[in-house]
Structure 1
Amino acid sequence: MRWGLRARRPGAAALAAARSRWAPRCSPCRPGPLGAAARHGVTSVTPGRRRRGRPGPADLGARGQKCGFSELYSWQRERKGKTEFCLHDGPPYANGDPHIGHALNKILKDIANRYHMMRGSRIHFVPGWDCHGLPIEVKVLSKLGGKAQDLSPMEIREKARSFAKAAIEKQKSAFIRWGVMADWNNCYCTFDGKYEAKQLRIFYQMYDKGLVYRSYKPVFWSPSSRTALAEAELEYNPEHVSRSVYLKFPLQTPPPKLAALLDGSSPVGVLVWTTQPWTVPANQALCYSPQSKYALVKCSTSGDQYVVAAEKVAPLAAALDTTFEVTSTFSGADLEGGSCTHPLIPDKVSPLLPATHVTMAKGTGLVHTAPAHGMEDYGVASQHSLPVDCVVDEAGVFTAAAGPELQSKAVLEEGTEAVIKMLQSVKSLLKEEKLIHSYPYDWRTKKPVIIRASKQWFVKIADIKPTAKEVLKAVKFIPGAALNAMVDALERRPYWCISRQRVWGVPIPVFHHRTRDEECLISSQTVEHIARLVEQHGSDVWWTLPPEQLLPQEVLSQVSGPEGLEYLPGQDILDIWFDSGTSWSCVLPGPDCRADLYLEGKDQLGGWFQSSLLTSVAARKKAPFKTVLVHGFTLGEKGEKMSKSLGNVIDPDVVINGGQDQNTEPPYGADVLRWWVAESNVFTEVTLGPSALGAAREDIDKLRNTLRFLLGNVAGFNPETDSVPVDSMYVIDQYMLHLLQGLAGKVTDAYKQYDFGKVVRLLQAFYTRELSHFYFSIIKDRLYCEKEDDPKRRSCQTTLAQILDVLVRAFAPILPHLAEEVFQHLPYGTEPKSVFRTGWISTSSIWKKPGLEEAVESACAMRDSFLGSIPGRNATEYEVTIVIEPGLLFEIIEMLQAEETSSCSQLSELMMASQCTLLAQEPQQRPPDVTELSGTFLINLEGGDIREESAYKVLVTPSTKEKCPRCWKYTAEAADALCPRCAEVVGGE
């Protein structure tokens, strides 16, 4: 069709008003060229305004000030809100530039906050940063190279603090640029003295309850960082290569129940498999599964006999390139009482012990057990009182206790080689092979970790788990499956090591005896004294004040001996997950200290979500959150992980402002970034690339054109004085209000569920299908060609004003810049001109008229038949006759056209033809060039109580009249003459 917005003959005041600089210049269903401002993110809809070149930061700042963004957070905090909505900001790490993951997270939080604010709640949102820990310390030290070794603890802390502060300022600037609403002058940082002091008090609360203790246990240890790590500080490398070995432990004492099976004719070995040969010197036992079947087999190659799991006989023989003859089978429980000789330490005995962790998934069905280097191994040692001797130091190097052949060798490198050679020399090694498998790495140094026993501080997870799982039942998780994932992560955690051997962090407030290291000094008096010092001066006091000043006077007098103070400050700091996990006590408002929402990435199910839950449950037996929303990670356009080596890392600053080559990296603006975040299915992995950004920009272009049309056509309209009552409006206008109320309800429900992708889909469908492709194309004649104050035109404007209001409020949380700019240019209304200060979507129950759907949809069925018969032609060149047999359908359509023939009826407007005729029976005479179309329509009203299927015909003929030069309908009696309607309008003005 050629029907669109074009220049028409001027001459009428209404026409002049409609064609003022507010009027759109292109069809709303086909976006016109983008203005430079749109490319910048502040997507201008200012009518008639075209920017040349991109506005700079000062211009953007002025726009933000005009919208009042900087004062919005403080304004809403001061108002009397019905409810309080608290979204607790999980602290991003202050160790780098803002990245696309930050954008996803912060924009999601801002959309949620703005929605709840518009619903009338007072928003409590305090942005924060996680500022301590290994990653920052490693970055600082790596920049210094060899000089780092000469730095004192305080020099390291000062450099780390400066680094964190610089990162915070960079990130904060980006978050403001993305439109995130907050009081940016009052944020929280985990290195603030008051924050650190509260954290120390939480630590003591847990210690006093017996939930924190010091013990010698195996923990994940990073030789490259020389510190213990929590599970959340690990990342797994699926391509790690280990040197796995099959080896035998000579059977020394046969199990009593199997003594009769062993004739002594050939040696018997217990066969084991391990991917960590370096742990063999620390072996203390061999474990078996009492419930499984085992076999005594004879090797056809060597004649040796081995004990292995019965179901592993065939795969083991294949792996060792031999054959096994099964001489007997027996229950695992029959191995009780047996023992082996350690292959590398002849005078050492390794007993055979039952264990629940032994599986048949891999290996031989018997597990080499080194309690100093395995969590399950340690459990066996605790149960059977085995030694937990560690012969590996903080650098991951064998100590002198490992013997001269191994001393000073790195266990993951030459140490492994040395152990394998020793096993070969004593003929215990059956086979070595390389194994590619998933292996834990230090999340910052990107180097492999080991499990190593050391003295650390732990949280008794087992004592907290039952209550933690119970309180989680009252927490809403979005998506629901995240609850199971969090419980699973909790179940897999045997204990939580909260001590680290670094200096950039909060000290564990404990003093150790000078000579008896296991003897600690900690009490409510000592911790409170330290907390007060930290509150005033920061945690640097632990390193700057003499020990005597770190203790209160009443305690100092009790622990001072003839040679001075008997206790010295400990050198461990708290795990940064304990740092951030106690943020609920420092940030959340009121005595309840519970947030309505925690919103972070899925990695936090084992990280911040969990540490927050554990500390809160430990301190006060309740969760710190009511709802937990979990989003996925950002990936490249093809679903691949973003990495610098692949060249697919997307910088949010480049998305907004463009790259160096703006042909390949054009500036999309903040609105496009926010739209992409909202429309993504954030509950799974989120992909981003040029096509996704281009699609988001195209969506916003269409939205902007829709807004231009709406703004342009409510010019000269005052809703307070010019609105038409609903019952007096055109049916099509009432129908649009009916759809609008449905949209408002669905959008509101989607926001309630934090399903912002659904909000975007609802809006896209409405402004493209219902508005641009349908309603706008129908009403243009009424808008541009009727008198300015004609009730028919006012009816339409009443609807447009309501659509504009609902539409802008619906997308305001997602596109705040665009929404505020629309409000700044409304041609009516009172102060304040801010969508965020005037509430959420408001609709009326009288808009809901389901019966109208039958009227409009039946007419649209006939309209579609007509338009489908004239592809590519102008509908106004034709006249339409609709024939409907008497009945319910005829009565419905008659609502749209009371007279038999009309060029100005609601039916003719809907059909978009120049003239419509409605008949109850076919005309006696037909023009020779008529096109006949037929169909049926099922009327279904009152929930199915009223059902009637009626037939109709649509007769299409070329118009016999001339084209009116003003309205372009073929309704004029002569060429260059106005049609009767236009003549009346122009004559009246």
Structure 2
Amino acid sequence: MRWGLCPLGPGPAAVARSWGLLRLPCSPRWRGRTRGPLVRSVTGASSQLPSSSNGRYRDTVLLPQTSFPMKLLGRQQPDTELDIQQKCGFSELYSWQRERKVKTEFCLHDGPPYANGDPHVGHALNKILKDIANRYHMMRGSKIHFVPGWDCHGLPIEIKALSELGGKTQNLSAVEIREKARSFAKAAIEKQRSAFIRWGVMADWNNSYYTFDGRYEAKQLRIFYQMFDKGLIYRSYKPVFWSPSSRTALAEAELEYNPEHVSRSIYVKFPLLKPSPKLASLIEGSSPVSFLIWTTQPWTIPANQAVCYMPDAKYALVKCSTSEDLYILAADKVTPVASTLKTAFEVISTFSGADLENGTCTHPLTPDKASPLLPANHVTMAKGTGLVHTAPAHGMEDYSVASQHNLSTDCLVDEDGVFKAAAGPELENKAVLEEGTDAVIKMLRAAKNLLKEEELLHSYPYDWRTKKPVVIRASKQWFVNITDLKATAKELLKKVKFIPGSAQNAMVEMMDRRPYWCISRQRAWGVPIPVFHHKTKDEFLINSQTVEHIIKLVEQHGSDVWWTLPPEQLLPEEVLSQVGGPDALEYVPGQDILDIWFDSGTSWSYVLPGADQRADLYLEGKDQLGGWFQSSLLTSVAVRKKAPFKTVVVHGFTLGEKGEKMSKSLGNVIDPDVVINGGQDPNREPPYGADVLRWWVAESNVFTEVTISSSVLNAARDDISKLRNTLRFLLGNVAGFNPETDSVPVEDMYVIDQYMLHLLQDLANKVTDSYKQYDFGKVVRLLRAFYTRELSNFYFSIIKDRLYCENADDPKRRSCQTALAEILDVVVRSFAPILPHLAEEVFQHIPYLKEPRSVFRSGWIRTSSIWKKPGLEEAVESACAMRDAFLGSIPGQSAAAYSVVIVIEPGLLFEIIEMLQAEETSSTSQLNELMMASQTTLLSQEPRERAADAIELTGTFLINLEGGDIREESSYKVIVTPTTKEKCPRCWKYTAESSEAPCPRCADVLGGK
């Protein structure tokens, strides 16, 4: 040993022990850093394997042995997955884990997909995200509660079921419509279920829930009555979103806004009839005055009952330069309105909105009808004139004004969206959004009250299924009084974890914007609202006796009884006798059904386990912030004052490659079945298998919109292909290794092997934490970086010589195999929730498992605290800084053809590196293995001689001890020279005296053969 060259006192062993580096137990924290970032380069490293050593030594090299295929080509991928699902018991996994005796349970409540069509990539995104979460929690040791469900009622299913009949639907009875809708929903459910199973989704498929199941409907009706009994459900005449194309009321969640809608906006005069006292003094002796209003819905003018103003705003009396007419409008709107009307306004006077109180104007179509001027908070200056035409039957705010001032709320529009007879002969039977609008505009022009008409492109609500515009129309409906629920709901949401956090505010804002929840629908396919209406009076019958009787009938026979049984059988005997008896029954069953958001929103009462009935997780798309998340919360708060969920994860929508919405008309719809099994042209649509689909889901930033395309799927397939190669290397090199008998204790392992276990524990911790946060994209990024950079590019390139060319049971080789076995186990468990088919396939090929086990039945990642050695990480990084300098100096060349001299000034860095190579020069030391050179020489001072063709490289490495208490920056020099040795015919390293004879190491290995 050359310790005499170092004048620093105690020998390297003592110093190394003091820093925990000898035999490398868990070392104290010390930090070493090069100037600039460390890159573990393998440039210049030989990629050749000693596998074709001219025959003579080929059989003495321990090459990887595994039947695990490097690639699955064409149909092999989907076929292998199906084989794995059967062989590894995918279908029994859910029931197996339910039978385990474990302490914790994890409940993910499945939001029911709609049973109205084929499975699509949106389903794939949602179900696979849920499955990844469930499989992770199952592997962590929790019992999973995941009951899949389907939303089976509602207008979209009814429309699709009837559309198949063409024009034969007019004469169908409610029962016939229900039969057709039910059979359509059942067929859709079967298609979706088989797809979800094919994607590898683990669930209680034998006990799914369906909203058309009688037991489910009975629970729902019980919740309806509990809410009714508390005064939270009531019947009222109010304006609601109405779909003429579907002939039913719609909730906010059933609307979609079309940004390309064109309305015919108009500026209209409302002539002043009776001025307020203040106004009278301003206009004394003036020519006639009119109020100016603007609307995008001309068809609502016939229903006008008032004109509203903002009491605190300034208003102006203006004179039009072209007509000399006098108008009143908001002072802030004078200039923009004049510009729109292509005229100029002269402001005669201004006054406060409050000064308009008690004034009235004339209805622009009905001269003998007055429209009062009324103050209102909903008036804004954003658009229009600052004066708002108010039609209580056609606007929520308008209705509120009518309630305060006892205005008429009569609706002139029927269920088909056409004017009733009460609208007058000129309008009767005209569709309000089409010829009805034409007629109103002509009437205004004839009355000389139309100032301007123009087309306006703006966002407008459409029926979510018929894709046709809706109207706001007053009708008698059933409502949930959410005003009384909001405060409690918002308070409870503060205790719910939202991922991403911004989703919580979005949900609260949506709730705040919702004035009430209309829960009645005028269709046949759904759960009936269990109310009886009086035949002649505006009265209805519902009480605990009637509802309990109906609940029992529905529980036994399903909700069809509402339409199939005679009315007298729907009432209990004691109530029947009070309301006319069977022969003179005064009441008939109501024809309204419940909103499907009420259907699905009550699922917690039927599905969630235990007395608490709260799910650990709800996970759905962002549209459910106003849909299922909200209806679930409101019904749960109404009945029991608690939220049904502890955590809510919200994901985005799937989009095409350029961020466009998927649609058949654009031709960018991607069918998950085609992704898995391939299309008609395998070159254009190859069979990727389900794991590629799952990898795509996991790696996407699901908290925003998620794009899918052939390029995205190809990239996912390439990632998995690289992972397969990594796994094949690991499997091939643990052949002949038995962890129970051949493992090397950690403290006796090679430094680089210990270093990999150190990195492996860090990976395991980060992966586990990412799964906990449902950040599966981070899991993929961590894994991809580890298997490409740390393993394939770095570790595997270093250890091949030790694995292939040492004796099978040499401790150096066993040390490496010990690390490889641990790496294999951690890596497979890390990706198992994402790629279950690949994980199980790997477990089928692990050579030392006597009977192949299921990765999912054997728990989560297991690591050891003794793997964590921060000081060890820095020791390897300092050596890697020198290695990178060396490899960078010989681009494209084999590192094994060079000798390296490392000169480090005496000090701690020298002592650390000396732990990797005790002798001065070695071709078999740990340092030389890391350098991948022919041989490495370690010196503490410059060599006296050097070759003329030597390359000299210099650098510094900063060692930071104990958080900065001791800092030592050491210089080093790397001297690179071509080796003078010959290439060994067995290991191909340049360490032999003759190219015909093996090097000393190989000769030693071969000695016993």
Distance apart, 1:830 and its partner CA: 5.2
Partner of 1:158: 179
1:86-143: CA deviation from partner (whole Å, max 9, x where unpaired): 0000000000000000000000000000000000000000000000000001111222
1:571-605: CA deviation from partner (whole Å, max 9, x where unpaired): 00000000000000010001111000000000000
Distance in 1 between the 2:681 and 2:217 partners? Answer: 46
AA in 1 matched with 2:73: A
Work out whether 1:228 is the aligned partner of 2:274.
no
More displaced stretch, 134-143 vs 497-506: 134-143
- Counterpart of 1:738 (choices 758, 778, 793) is 758
- Counterpart of 1:967 (choices 978, 981, 987) is 987
Q: Secondary structure at the match of 1:596?
A: strand
Distance apart, 1:6 and its partner CA: 4.8
- Counterpart of 1:909 (choices 914, 929, 936) is 929
Q: Secondary structure at the match of 1:144?
A: coil
Contact 1:961 1:970 in 2 (8 A): yes
AA in 1 matched with 2:656: G
1:531-570 to 2 correspondences below 5 Å:
531-560=551-580, 564-570=584-590
Partner of 2:32: none
Distance in 2 between the 1:953 and 1:876 partners? Answer: 19
AA in 1 matched with 2:201: V
Q: Secondary structure at the match of 2:205?
A: coil
Distance in 2 between the 1:473 and 1:132 partners? Answer: 32
Contact 1:14 1:788 in 2 (8 A): no
1:193-232 to 2 correspondences below 5 Å:
193-232=214-253
Distance apart, 1:63 and its partner CA: 2.1
- Counterpart of 1:792 (choices 809, 812, 817) is 812
1:836-875 to 2 correspondences below 5 Å:
836-875=856-895
Partner of 2:747: 727
1:211-236: CA deviation from partner (whole Å, max 9, x where unpaired): 00000000000000000000100001
- Paired residue total: 964
AA in 1 matched with 2:720: I
Distance in 2 between the 1:561 and 1:126 partners? Answer: 44
Partner of 1:7: 51
- Counterpart of 2:201 (choices 160, 180, 183) is 180
Partner of 2:772: 752
Partner of 2:114: 93
Partner of 2:277: 256
Distance in 2 between the 1:203 and 1:264 partners? Answer: 62
Distance apart, 1:21 and its partner CA: 4.6
List gaps (5 residues or longer) in structure 2.
1-44
- Counterpart of 1:35 (choices 63, 72, 81) is 72
Partner of 1:136: 157
Distance apart, 1:11 and its partner CA: 7.1
1:142-190: CA deviation from partner (whole Å, max 9, x where unpaired): 2212100011111110000000000000000110110000121210110
Identify the structure with bigger relative contact order (alpha carbons < 8 Å, sequence gap 6+).
2
Contact 1:14 1:786 in 2 (8 A): no
Distance apart, 1:923 and its partner CA: 1.0
Contact 2:359 2:372 in 1 (8 A): yes
Distance in 1 between the 2:760 and 2:626 partners? Answer: 43
Partner of 2:5: none
AA in 1 matched with 2:230: K
Q: Secondary structure at the match of 1:564?
A: coil
Work out whether 1:616 is the aligned partner of 2:653.
no
Q: Secondary structure at the match of 1:949?
A: strand
Contact 1:40 1:670 in 2 (8 A): no
Distance apart, 1:563 and its partner CA: 5.6
Distance in 1 between the 2:966 and 2:757 partners? Answer: 24
Distance apart, 1:62 and its partner CA: 3.2
Contact 2:84 2:840 in 1 (8 A): no
Question: Closer, same or farther in 2 for the Cα pair 1:532/1:6, shift >3 Å?
Answer: farther
AA in 2 matched with 1:255: S
Q: Secondary structure at the match of 2:166?
A: helix
AA in 2 matched with 1:664: R
Work out whether 1:950 is the aligned partner of 2:974.
no
Q: TM-score, normalised by structure 1?
A: 0.96
Contact 1:778 1:909 in 2 (8 A): yes
Distance in 1 between the 2:471 and 2:395 partners? Answer: 9
Partner of 2:401: 380
Q: Secondary structure at the match of 1:406?
A: coil
Distance in 1 between the 2:743 and 2:56 partners? Answer: 26
Distance in 2 between the 1:833 and 1:561 partners? Answer: 68
Distance apart, 1:61 and its partner CA: 3.7
Contact 2:51 2:63 in 1 (8 A): no
Same amino acid, percent of matched pairs? 80
Contact 1:250 1:268 in 2 (8 A): yes
More displaced stretch, 825-834 vs 491-500: 825-834
- Counterpart of 1:18 (choices 63, 69, 77) is 63
Contact 2:151 2:600 in 1 (8 A): yes
Distance in 1 between the 2:81 and 2:801 partners? Answer: 38
- Counterpart of 1:319 (choices 311, 335, 340) is 340
Distance in 2 between the 1:479 and 1:418 partners? Answer: 50
- Counterpart of 2:135 (choices 114, 125, 131) is 114
1:12-39: CA deviation from partner (whole Å, max 9, x where unpaired): 8994653435599xxxxxxx7x3227x6
Partner of 1:367: 388
Contact 1:40 1:656 in 2 (8 A): no
- Counterpart of 1:682 (choices 690, 702, 716) is 702
Q: Secondary structure at the match of 2:1007?
A: helix
More displaced stretch, 298-307 vs 86-95: 298-307
1:319-358: CA deviation from partner (whole Å, max 9, x where unpaired): 1111101000011111111001111112211100000000
Question: Closer, same or farther in 2 for the Cα pair 1:12/1:805, shift >3 Å?
Answer: farther
Distance apart, 1:561 and its partner CA: 5.6
Distance in 2 between the 1:240 and 1:744 partners? Answer: 52
1:710-755: CA deviation from partner (whole Å, max 9, x where unpaired): 0000011111111111111111011000000000000000000000
List gaps (5 residues or longer) in structure 1.
25-31, 43-54
Distance in 2 between the 1:20 and 1:97 partners? Answer: 44
Work out whether 1:810 is the aligned partner of 2:830.
yes
Q: TM-score, normalised by structure 2?
A: 0.94
Distance in 2 between the 1:267 and 1:440 partners? Answer: 38
Partner of 2:1000: 980
1:791-832: CA deviation from partner (whole Å, max 9, x where unpaired): 000000000000000000000000000001111111113556
Distance apart, 1:941 and its partner CA: 2.9
Distance apart, 1:5 and its partner CA: 3.2
Distance in 1 between the 2:160 and 2:370 partners? Answer: 46
Q: Secondary structure at the match of 1:771?
A: helix
Partner of 2:438: 417
1:456-508: CA deviation from partner (whole Å, max 9, x where unpaired): 00000101111010100000000000000000000000000000000000000
AA in 2 matched with 1:3: S
Work out whether 1:705 is the aligned partner of 2:749.
no
Q: Secondary structure at the match of 1:984?
A: helix
Contact 2:756 2:819 in 1 (8 A): yes
Distance apart, 1:942 and its partner CA: 2.2
Partner of 1:49: none
Contact 1:67 1:817 in 2 (8 A): no
Q: RMSD in angstroms over aligned alpha carbons?
A: 1.4
Question: Closer, same or farther in 2 for the Cα pair 1:98/1:127, shift >3 Å?
Answer: same
1:196-595 to 2 correspondences below 5 Å:
196-516=217-537, 518-560=538-580, 564-595=584-615
Contact 2:131 2:202 in 1 (8 A): yes
- Counterpart of 1:779 (choices 799, 804, 813) is 799
Distance in 1 between the 2:65 and 2:770 partners? Answer: 38
1:437-457: CA deviation from partner (whole Å, max 9, x where unpaired): 000000111100000000000
Distance in 2 between the 1:69 and 1:916 partners? Answer: 53
Distance in 1 between the 2:358 and 2:661 partners? Answer: 52
Q: Secondary structure at the match of 1:882?
A: strand
AA in 2 matched with 1:548: E
1:680-733: CA deviation from partner (whole Å, max 9, x where unpaired): 000000011111111101100000000000000001111111111111111101
Question: Closer, same or farther in 2 for the Cα pair 1:396/1:68, shift >3 Å?
Answer: same
